[in-house]
Amino acid sequence: MNGLALYWRYIGISVRSEMLYPASFLLRLGSQFVVTIIEFAGVYVLFERFKHVRGWGFAEVALFYATASIAFAIADGLSRGFDSMGPMLVKTGNFDRVLLRPRSSALQITGREFALSSVGRLARGAVALIVAIGLLKPDWSAAKMLLLSWSVAGGASLFFSLKMMEGVMSFWTTEGLEVANTLTYGGEAAAQYPLDIYAKWFRNFLLYFVPIGCSLYLPVALVLGHDTGAPAWLAVLAPATGFAFLGVALLFWRFGVGHYTSTGS
Amino acid sequence: MSTLALPYLSVLRVRFQLMLQYRTAAWAGVATQFWFGAIRVMTLVAFYVGTGQQPMNLPQVVTYIWLGQAFLAMLPWAPDAEIAVAVESGNVGYERLRPVDTYFLWYARALAWRVANTALRAGPVFILAALILPLTAMADWRWRLPTGGAAAALFVASITLTALLSSAFTALLNIVLVHVKTPRVGNFAMGFTNLFSGLVIPLALFPHWAQPFLLWQPFAGLADIPFRIYTGALAGATAAQGLASQVLWILLLVLLGRWWLARVLAHIDMQGG
Amino acid sequence: MAQITVENLGKIYRVTARDPGLAGAFRGLFQRRHREVVALNQVSFSLEKGEFLGFIGPNGAGKSTTIKILSGILRPSSGRCTVSGLVPWEQRIAHVARIGVVFGQRTQLWWDLPVVESFELLRDIYRVDPVRFATTMERLVDMLKIAPILDTPLRQLSLGQRMRCEIAAALLHEPRVLFLDEPTIGLDAISKLALREFVKELNRNEGVTVLLTTHDMHDIEALARRVIIIGQGKVLRDSSFEAMRNEVLGERRLIVDFADDVGEVAVEGAEVRARDGRTVELTFDRAKTAAHTLIARVAAAHEVVDMRVEDPKIEEVIARFYAMHGAVEA
């Protein structure tokens, strides 16, 4: 059985154990939808009062909001296992069990837990996308659609890598690492608006250091026909940084597992 | 009185000690709160550029956001972890074996958790946002001091009520947990809590027609009321209304919690073995 | 060549020390102190195919550390070790595909899943051929008598049932080496006996090499032909169990119930160890005095209701051994 098929087996199990408590499952699923939609409603409240933000209107921001939410939802759905692995696996020594199986440890963690909240986020992204499309009435070519998908893929890969690095850190801390949220959840929150509304240092941080903007700002602005100062070819290539980051994260993961096997629990 | 309160005080002390052990979490929490605060400040600053008269001016909104970050741990995020464990293992019936009022034991634990968490995190956020930020190029984004002695005094009263209100919410979450008998329930109403406590958007920035309703709903007392009092956006008679709203909801939620818990515990089956 | 070779294995841990109390908790926010603990010190042994080795020692002696290194989840600080020609921690995936491991206090299986589904998932994880898997599973299910509980989620099973499923799970991919870390911990007497019987057969009939750690000396007595005693990270003894028993406690006991109150009991070749009313416990050296000689001497001198000869209890043997070698930290 190949890795992907095994991954789906794992996810199936995780979802089924959720379903063992149907009341809680439905309650949480429902609340996830409400929570995430409410957050988007918050953006609407601001535009209702202020009309626009540095030249961007609600519909345009909704498109940024949609790509960031969808990219993060995908990454979150795949990476929740890394979130809780500090207290659940490292601290308790249950990571041993992962190592006792003849499969890639990263793959096993990826499939360990399915995050219900990612369904809610995906729904929020979908709502934002529908709102954006409904209001913009865009005349999008296939190339632009492709560019948006590519932007989402790069963003998802980047967020996934960040989550994985968070997991690596927990080999040392054995705790959940709230500070990593600054880049993951914080990154998503920042990318929900076009980066040029922020202070310059912050924009540069998100373009060059943790290149969330390369996937979720430059290409989306290009689709909207907004000048960011970056040439179009660069905006098209930029999401590749998300995949480069994934390579770094995998190397880092091997290093972390090496640390675990030399200290035990 | 002192012997009567002793069990609850012990619970408080042990909780506090336990929490200090999570040192990485404590530092990380501060950094995270500061960072998220900065993002939200920047977003709102961007919205305020070139805008006219608003119900709260920019310095007020910025301070409001920092208060939100500093007192984030005060919100009823999730039910008591110990009770979640007890529900999962089916041992929740044993809560009745303790010779104290179960509701107030839970309430004391929730209060300890909220206060300890907040005490640990609010200080550093204040140092960063109110003392260090003014020394940088971003001085405009700083956390400002209260507008006057009256605002400061009213804020202390109001934030105390917030702790009491939040604990009442937490106790209710515990009861829901026991009632539905499934451990995996967080605060399923967190979305509402966030939005209607003012943490997503300050409630004053909502449309004008919604304001009276917003002041009198239970979540406002968790953040918006003390924060608006602090920044001077809520003063005089409206500030008094805010405090009244908090007191009212504390009483209602405690009464509801006690009544509901009594019913739930009466119907619990202890698992034999 | 030996199936398992362990040469000069050493392991040093760094542990964090924390001061007690509220003040200590505050201090811990800013600094942590470390100290080094030697868990294994120059441990060497080797194991041939089909051997059954019992690994015993007091808590913290290094048993679990050794098993973890052998199963590839822990990297030693020094020394070498191979299992079927592979270095466990360097060729983890290839290695763990060929071994079976059961940790008595940990589960291999999925808590919420019916047992059979866990098994099928393990089949996919270990890439076991489905036809071959069906045969193996049928055999294991039959031998361990778990057919009636296959459709039950793990969390609803008793500890004994769970352990039988764990053993089956560890063997589904037909490993040639089996590591059992405290498999009988917490089990009731019947489950223990069943488990021992199964493992014994597995070793004898199928030639699976077994390495067992346990606190239950009856496990060792019933199963292990060879015993390694480990204490404070060092191998203290590596021999057959009988040899060790004879060396440590060559004495036997004769327990006599007298018919009347006797005064001083003096028998040649034996000493009084304890007495309780009319029951007197004598000890003697099996090398110097034969049991029947001693019985004859006692019977000749006194009116006797009953007599029985006993070997010292195995726990006593081990405790005596640990004490002799300073194996337990003061």
Q: What is the pLDDT of residue B178?
A: 82
Please tell me the distance in Å from B68's CA to the nearest CA on chain A.
16
pLDDT at C170 over 90: yes
Q: Angle B72-B74-B76 (CA atoms, 0-180°, nearest 5)?
A: 105
Cβ <8 Å between A13 and C96: no
Cβ <8 Å between B26 and C29: yes
The per-residue pLDDT for range C272-312, each reduced to its tens digit, is: 888 888 888 888 887 788 888 888 888 888 888 888 888 77
Whether residue B81 lies within 8 A of chain A, CB to CB, comes out as no
pTM: 0.80
The per-residue pLDDT for range B161-178, each reduced to its tens digit, is: 999 999 999 999 888 888
The per-residue pLDDT for range C81-92, each reduced to its tens digit, is: 999 999 998 998
Please tell me the distance in Å from C145's CA to the nearest CA on chain A.
25
- Please give the Cα distance from C211 to B224 (Å, whole number): 64
Lowest mean pLDDT among A170-174, A181-185, B186-190: B186-190
Q: Determine the residue of chain A that is closest to B178 in CA distance.
A: A24
**B272 part of a folded domain:** no
Q: What is the pLDDT of residue B100?
A: 72
**B179 part of a folded domain:** yes
* Residue C176: partners with Cβ closer than 8 Å, 6 or more residues away: C3, C49, C84, C98, C99, C207, C208, C209
**Whose CA is closest to B199, among B69, B30, B111?**
B69
pLDDT at C79 over 90: yes
* Residue A208: partners with Cβ closer than 8 Å, 6 or more residues away: none
Q: Which of B9, B12, B19, B23 is the best mutation test for C, with the most CBs of C within 10 A? A: B23
Q: What is the pLDDT of residue B1?
A: 47
Cβ <8 Å between C74 and A100: no
pLDDT at C177 over 90: yes
Tell me which residue in A93, A101, A262 faces C125 most closely, judged by beta carbons.
Answer: A101
What's the token pair of residue C174?
């037909």
pLDDT at C31 over 70: no
pLDDT at C22 over 70: no
pLDDT band at A128 (very low <50, low <70, confident <90, very high): very high
**B273 part of a folded domain:** no
Q: What is the pLDDT of residue C330?
A: 45
Interface of B with C (CB under 8 A): 13, 16-17, 20-21, 23, 26-27
Q: Are C245 and C265 in contact (CB under 8 A)?
A: no
Q: How far is CA C44 from the centre of its chain?
A: 18
Cβ <8 Å between A103 and C108: no
Q: What is the pLDDT of residue B272?
A: 41
pLDDT at B135 over 80: yes
Q: Determine the residue of chain B that is closest to A45 in CA distance.
A: B206
The per-residue pLDDT for range A62-92, each reduced to its tens digit, is: 999 999 999 999 999 888 889 888 878 888 8
- Partnered with residue C100 across adjacent β-strands are C178
The per-residue pLDDT for range B221-250, each reduced to its tens digit, is: 999 999 999 999 998 899 999 999 999 999
In the predicted model, what is the mean pLDDT of chain A?
A: 88
pLDDT at B187 over 60: no
Q: Scan residues 103-142 of B and list those with Cβ closer than 8 Å to A.
A: 138
Mean pLDDT of B212-223: 94
Q: What does the CA dihedral B193, B197, B202, B204 come to, rounded to 10 degrees?
A: 120
Inter-CA distances, C60 with B155, C15, C103, C234, Å = 55, 14, 16, 11
The per-residue pLDDT for range B109-121, each reduced to its tens digit, is: 889 888 888 887 8
Q: How far is CA B173 from the centre of its chain?
A: 14
Cβ <8 Å between C29 and B17: no
Question: Domain limits at B117?
Answer: 2-266
Tell me which residue in A23, A25, A35 faces B190 most closely, judged by beta carbons.
Answer: A35
Mean pLDDT of C178-192: 88
| B47-53: Cβ within 8 A, 24+ apart | B47/A46, B47/A50, B47/A53, B48/A50, B49/A53, B49/A54, B51/A50
Residue C233's region, left for phi above 0, alpha for psi from -120 to 50, else beta, is: left
Mean pLDDT of B251-259: 95
Mean pLDDT of A115-127: 85
pLDDT at B188 over 70: no
Residue C84's region, left for phi above 0, alpha for psi from -120 to 50, else beta, is: left
The backbone torsions φ and ψ at residue C135, rounded to the nearest 5 degrees and listed phi first, read: -65, -50
The per-residue pLDDT for range B58-81, each reduced to its tens digit, is: 999 999 999 999 998 899 887 877
Mean pLDDT of A53-58: 93
Q: Which of C75, C84, C109 is the best mutation test for A, with the most CBs of A within 10 A? A: C75
Interface of A with C (CB under 8 A): 1, 5-6, 9, 13, 16-17, 20, 93-94, 96-97, 99-104, 258, 261-264
In the predicted model, what is the mean pLDDT of chain B?
A: 84
The per-residue pLDDT for range C116-135, each reduced to its tens digit, is: 989 998 998 898 999 999 99
The per-residue pLDDT for range C213-272, each reduced to its tens digit, is: 988 778 888 888 899 988 888 888 898 877 877 776 667 888 888 888 877 778 888 888
| DSSP line for A67-106 | HHHHHHHHHHHHHHHHHTHIIIIITTTTHHHHHTSSS-HH
Total domains, chain B? 1
- Partnered with residue C78 across adjacent β-strands are C10
CB count, 10 Å around CB of A186? Answer: 20
Q: What is the pLDDT of residue B95?
A: 67
* Residue A19: partners with Cβ closer than 8 Å, 6 or more residues away: A25
What's the token pair of residue A85?
């692995």
Tell me which residue in B13, B16, B20 faces C29 most closely, judged by beta carbons.
Answer: B20
Owner of token pair 């006057």: B148
pLDDT at B160 over 50: yes
pLDDT band at B271 (very low <50, low <70, confident <90, very high): very low
Cβ <8 Å between C25 and B26: no
Q: What is the pLDDT of residue B273?
A: 35
Burial label for B206, CB within 10 Å (0-12, 13-18, 19+), is buried
Cβ <8 Å between B36 and A42: no
Chain B neighbours, 3+ Cβ pairs < 8 A:
A, C
3-state secondary structure of C240: strand
The per-residue pLDDT for range A196-235, each reduced to its tens digit, is: 999 999 999 999 999 999 999 999 999 999 888 889 999 9
- Please give the Cα distance from C278 to B117 (Å, whole number): 68
**B271 part of a folded domain:** no
- Please give the Cα distance from A51 to A49 (Å, whole number): 6
Mean pLDDT of C1-11: 90
Instruction: Specify the DSSP class assigned to residue B186.
Output: -
**B104 part of a folded domain:** yes
Cβ <8 Å between A179 and B207: no
Q: Which residues of A touch B43 (CB under 8 A)?
A: 53, 193, 197-198
Cβ <8 Å between A1 and C106: no
Starting at the edge strand found earlier in the chain, the sheet holding C304-310 runs C271-276, C279-285, C251-258, C304-310
The per-residue pLDDT for range C191-209, each reduced to its tens digit, is: 888 889 999 999 999 999 9
Q: What is the pLDDT of residue A65?
A: 96
In the predicted model, what is the mean pLDDT of chain C?
A: 85
Q: Which residues of C touch B16 (CB under 8 A)?
A: 22
Inter-CA distances, A196 with A206, A215, A222, Å = 11, 14, 13
- Please give the Cα distance from A210 to A189 (Å, whole number): 14
Q: Which of B41, B201, B206 is the best mutation test for A, with the most CBs of A within 10 A? A: B201
* Residue C258: partners with Cβ closer than 8 Å, 6 or more residues away: C278, C279, C280, C302, C303, C304, C305
The per-residue pLDDT for range B4-52, each reduced to its tens digit, is: 677 777 766 776 666 666 665 667 778 888 888 999 999 999 999 888 8
Mean pLDDT of C62-69: 89
Cβ <8 Å between C28 and B20: yes
Q: Which residues of C touch A94 (CB under 8 A)?
A: 106
